[in-house]
Amino acid sequence: MIPIRISLDRDLYEQADRVSRRQGVSLADFCRRTLREALAGYPEDKPWMAYVGSLEGRANDSCTVDAVVYGHDAR
């Protein structure tokens, strides 16, 4: 492991400390797990994957694509 030093504001530190205690792990382990989870959404070989599923809209919005692209309704 590579030791690092970071600074946190008091509120963030206290919240992280409470959660790590509730989970029964050290604050360092909690930080490692949290960082690992955050980075899982950003695969290095496919950086565009970070945006998958991040768009908003209605469930049937994709139905209008056929009408726009092909000039007919897909329904």
pLDDT in tens, 21-63: 999 999 999 999 999 988 887 777 777 666 666 566 676 766 6
Q: Match 């000039």 to its residue by tokens.
A: 71
The CA angle 17-22-27, to the nearest 5 degrees, is 35
- 8-28 burial string, b = 16+ CB within 10 Å, else e? eeeeeeeeeeeebeeeeeeee
Contact yes or no for 29/20 (Cβ under 8 A): yes
Q: Does the pLDDT value for residue 75 go beyond 70?
A: no
Task: Specify the pTM.
Answer: 0.57
Identify the pLDDT of residue 71.
76
Cα–Cα distance for residue pair 38/52, rounded to 1 Å = 15
> How many alpha carbons lie under 13 Å from residue 1 in its C-beta half-sphere?
6
Identify the pLDDT of residue 74.
54
